[in-house]
Amino acid sequence: MTTMQTRPDTAPAATTATANQPGRVVSIVGIVLGALGIFFGIITGLPGLICGIVGAAKGNRLGWIAIVVSVVCTVAGIAIGAALSGGR
């Protein structure tokens, strides 16, 4: 009888974190776009919000963070833009 020995270098490859967490990439993109909303307002804030909603719908917790970041930064960006333009 032969016993089978496994070598450490032939172990199965570890799964990636994104394979186990659906919506993670789109949530991170949403956070980045939402944060850019402070500089570009609705142009990047709205896509960040949409990405956050998609990520949250897929069950990823970062999706909710992307939603909050998008809303807060977009509103702040619009307020800063209005203040710098003199409210015109």
Residue 6 has pLDDT above 70, yes or no: no
Q: What is the pTM of this model?
A: 0.75
pLDDT at 51: 96
% of the chain residues with pLDDT over 90: 68
Residue at 75 is within a domain: yes
Query: Which structure tokens are listed for 16?
Result: 């990636």
Q: Which domain holds residue 75?
A: 21-84
Domain count, the chain: 1
Total count of residues recorded for the chain: 88
Which residues, other chains included, contact 7 with Cβ-Cβ below 8 Å and sequence gap of 6+?
Answer: none
What would you measure as the largest C-alpha separation in the chain, in angstroms? Answer: 87
Q: Span 66-80, mean pLDDT?
A: 96
Does residue 11 sit within a domain? no
Q: Does residue 4 form part of some domain?
A: no
> Which residues, in sequence order, are CB contacts of 23 under 8 Å at separation 6+?
54, 55, 56, 57, 58, 59, 60, 62, 63
Q: Would you say residue 14 lies in a domain?
A: no
Residue 43 lies in a domain: yes
